[in-house]
Structure 1
Amino acid sequence: MRTLLAVLLFGLSATIAHAAGIKFLLVPQDDNGPALKTVVWTPCAEPAQDLSEGPYVLRGRRDCPTAGERLPLIVISHGHGGSFLGHHDIAEVLADAGFVVAAINHPGDTFSDMSHAADISEFIERPTDIKRLIDYMLTAAPDAKLIDGNRIGFFGFSRGGYTGLVLAGADPDFAHANVPCPDPDLPICQEIRHLQLPAKVFTHDARIKAFVLADPMNVFPQRSDLVNVRAPIQIWASQFGGDGVLPETVHAVAGALPERPDFHVVARSAHFVFLAPCSASMRQRAPELCVDAGGFDRVAFHEQLDEKALQFFRAKLH
């Protein structure tokens, strides 16, 4: 009976929402790390508008009152040098469907702060960043009382996909991973070459019940590295990869997981097709991130990606 009631409430929250409410927040600094710049999308019963945020055009309503209760939570981890707005389209779709969605800029590995991006320490910090985000969303965020802490999911791209696998229980093995190192002078390349590897235990978080991973960076060369990953996972792989992610390593991680993932290969695509379709301003600023080769239709693809991710989270976070 409780399960049926939860499903009915979840369905109701989806029907009353018409837009994504958008709030910009700050997770406070604590003993585990610096403050985290955060954007939160929530179900909103008001009509959507186009909102400009830098080069991004978001679809939603600023500071709209949150519609619904006992709402599932999705947290988002961007890729190398990315932004908490880099996957705003899937966040908008999920929020419109009744989810609370929260994304952060990872300190030291985001577009405005690359101070740790070339260092192995960033790979330690990323999962902790997401754990701190979840802690905040469940306790101190404005909508904390509206979130169901038993229904938490994760979306991650590239290094964000790596972050998700660690949170799910994986333990990295940087010394034996098949990761390109085109510049041997990069700190992370030197650290791996000289086996200056982290001794710190990596952060796992069993509160996350389902994962959608897009072109995840694979530093888990052995099946034993993934043996503790038991949550349901949906994986999306580009055909050609890029930005340090090799296509064969995405297939390898999918094949090595203890439980078979929901696995999708995107034909004729490269790594950055998983970023949200770009505005005209964004295409001018960063064509290497926005313009896909071979006439690939990113807008049409994201309609499929967003819908499949929504279906997956609905099925796994009931």
Structure 2
Amino acid sequence: MRWSPFLLSALLSLGLSAAQAAGLRAFDVPASTDGPAIRGVVWHPCAEAPHEIDARGGRTFFGVNDCPIVGNKLPLIVISHGRRGWLGGHHDTAAALADAGFMVLTINHPTDTERNTSGTDSLAVTVERPADIKRAIDYALQGWPDAAYIDAGRIGLYGFSWGGYTGLAAVGGEPDLRKGLPNCQTSALRACKELEGGERPSGPIVHDPRIKAAIIVDPYPVLFFAAENLKAVTIPIQLWSSDPAQNGDGLSGCCAAAINDRLPSKPDFHLVKDAKHFSFLATCTLEETAKMAGICTDAPGFDRLAFHRRLHTEAIAFFMTHLGEAGTR
């Protein structure tokens, strides 16, 4: 669905007027026979003014730690980060959604983060990542001390890059994980090499029918998803793509056009001119830019802050449309 600029602005203003900042609370799924511990943070509506929070490593969040939660029976959005990412990679998006009245859960995928890359690009992580989403939602609804604030009937997902793969799998996609997959035979992807070496996935892909709407950004890898592998993805999808012209260096996550053509129901598709793959990550601090120039530097003339305002407006409108009003406040 396309929204008029006036309506989008009005929706965003409604969300921001209800809560002035994002509150932050710790969220830690304990290890069990189903998998390792999952570290997370919940961003939620808060009536206090935001301030800078040291997120370590030269990073800064804007919000309020342990602020009282505003509202009840709030929709929950789970954010899945990209390859070697972390739970704060989309902190501005999480804060914007929380300001608009959503509970937002960001997690670290245990074996594919900046600090633990043991599963990065592996066959194992193709199965583990969707399972992480289900385990996190299970805990959010059943074990987390503030579970009563969440409306279990209104759950959404936001996935970037490998998080886009994760999201597609979690909402019904059945990745083709077999030896001899044509595009996989010549790929340098670790999972492809393992498949060609005779390895098999450690278990089935775990789907979560509780997820009612999803935003998918530059999903990767798409070679596991032919159209027939996506035929069960029937929930509303908002699909975002970076600009192929800005990703000629082979960045893993560019672009989403192929998935746009394969989904059984036409998604709300956005191709962002001049955006690089990493333009979807939160704007970097000076210290981050010095350490990770490739991730933090956009194309000449591309304004990441302005783009994120548009991204957040569209995301809020999408989730409000498909999950309902953001809650009783």
> Offset at 1:167?
0.8
> Offset at 1:25?
2.5
Is the counterpart of residue 225 in structure 1 residue 229 in structure 2?
yes
Q: Which residue of 1 aligns with 2:287?
A: 281
Once the two structures are superposed, residues 219-272 of structure 1 have per-residue CA deviations (whole angstroms, 9 ceiling, x without a partner) of 34422101111100000001124532343xx21211111110000001112211
Q: Secondary structure of the residue that 1:281 maps to in structure 2?
A: helix
Q: Distance in 2 between matches of 1:161 and 1:133?
A: 17
* Aligned residue among 183, 198, 216 for 1:213: 216
Q: Which residue of 2 aligns with 1:35?
A: 37
Tell me whether 285-294 or 159-168 shows the greater mean CA deviation.
Answer: 285-294
> Offset at 1:287?
1.0
Is the counterpart of residue 235 in structure 1 residue 239 in structure 2?
yes
Q: Distance in 1 between matches of 2:38 and 2:18?
A: 30
Residue pair 1:150, 1:207 contacting (<8 A) in 2 also: yes
Tell me whether 213-222 or 18-27 shows the greater mean CA deviation.
Answer: 213-222
Letter of the aligned partner of 1:170 in structure 2? G
Matches within 5 A, 1:60-79: 60-79=63-82
Residue pair 1:220, 1:226 contacting (<8 A) in 2 also: no
Q: Distance in 2 between matches of 1:174 and 1:235?
A: 23
> Offset at 1:173?
1.4
Tell me whether 50-59 or 205-214 shows the greater mean CA deviation.
Answer: 50-59
Residue pair 2:124, 2:202 contacting (<8 A) in 1 also: no
Q: Which residue of 1 aligns with 2:88?
A: 85
Q: Which residue of 1 aligns with 2:19?
A: 17
Q: Distance in 2 between matches of 1:129 and 1:50?
A: 29
Matches within 5 A, 1:102-113: 102-113=105-116
Q: Distance in 1 between matches of 2:274 and 2:86?
A: 25
Matches within 5 A, 1:1-318: 15-54=17-56, 55-175=58-178, 176=181, 178=183, 184=188, 187-198=190-201, 200-217=203-220, 218-240=222-244, 241=247, 242-247=250-255, 250-318=256-324
Q: Secondary structure of the residue that 1:20 maps to in structure 2?
A: strand
Name the TM-score, length of structure 1 as normaliser: 0.90
> Offset at 1:195?
4.4
Residue pair 1:94, 1:310 contacting (<8 A) in 2 also: yes
Q: 1:44 to 1:179 in 2, by over 3 A?
A: farther
> Offset at 1:198?
1.6
Q: How many residues align?
A: 304
Q: Distance in 2 between matches of 1:93 and 1:315?
A: 16
Q: Distance in 2 between matches of 1:38 and 1:151?
A: 20
Tell me whether 265-274 or 212-221 shows the greater mean CA deviation.
Answer: 212-221
Once the two structures are superposed, residues 157-202 of structure 1 have per-residue CA deviations (whole angstroms, 9 ceiling, x without a partner) of 00000000001101011453746977x4x64242133342326210
Q: Which structure 1 residue ranges, 5 or more long, are not aligned?
A: 1-10
Letter of the aligned partner of 2:237 in structure 1? I
- Please tell me the root mean square deviation across aligned C-alpha atoms, in Å: 2.0
Q: Distance in 1 between matches of 2:149 and 2:76?
A: 10
Q: Distance in 2 between matches of 1:279 and 1:252?
A: 33
Q: Distance in 1 between matches of 2:44 and 2:236?
A: 24
Q: Distance in 2 between matches of 1:114 and 1:181?
A: 23
Q: Distance in 2 between matches of 1:256 and 1:316?
A: 21
Q: Which structure 2 residue ranges, 5 or more long, are not aligned?
A: 1-12, 325-329
Q: Secondary structure of the residue that 2:206 maps to in structure 1?
A: coil
> Offset at 1:56?
1.9
